[in-house]
Amino acid sequence: MSDLQIAAPFLRWLYDSQAGYMEIVAGRPFPSKPDKIELVMSTRRWFYYDPERPDLIDTAARYIALLSESHGNVYTGVRLYLKAAKLQNSRSEEVAKPSRVIFIDDAPASPELPYSLCVRTSEGSRHAYYKCDRRSPKTTCDAPRPRWAAIPRAST
Q: Which residue has the higher pLDDT, 54 or 105?
A: 54
16: left (phi over 0), alpha (psi -120 to 50) or beta: left
Q: What is the DSSP letter of 33?
A: -
Number of residues assigned to the chain: 156
DSSP lists the bridge partners of residue 47 as 22
Beta strand residue intervals within the chain, DSSP E: 20-29, 37-49, 73-76, 101-104, 117-122, 125-131
Indicate the pLDDT class of residue 48, thresholds 50, 70 and 90: very high
Residues forming a β-bridge with 101: 131
User: pLDDT at residue 144 above 60?
Assistant: no
CA distance 143 to 110: 20
State the average pLDDT for the chain: 85
For range 89-116, the mean pLDDT:
91
Per-residue pLDDT, averaged over 47-65, amounts to 97
∠ CA 156-51-71, rounded to 5°: 120
pLDDT at 156: 30
Helix axes 54-71, 3-15, angle to 10 degrees: 130
Confidence of residue 152 (pLDDT cuts 50, 70, 90): very low
R_g of the chain computed on alpha carbons: 16
The pLDDT, as a whole number, for residue 54 is 96
Helices assigned H by DSSP within the chain: 3-15, 54-71, 83-88, 144-150
What is d(CA 66, CA 116) in angstroms, rounded to the nearest whole number? 26
Q: Which residue has the higher pLDDT, 123 or 25?
A: 25
Q: Span 30-58, mean pLDDT?
A: 93
Instruction: Select the more confidently predicted residue: 134 or 79.
Output: 79
Tell me: pLDDT of 59 over 90. yes
For residue 31, name the pLDDT band (cuts at 50, 70, 90): confident
The yes-or-no verdict on residue 91 having pLDDT over 80 is: yes
Contact 148, 98 (CB under 8 A): no
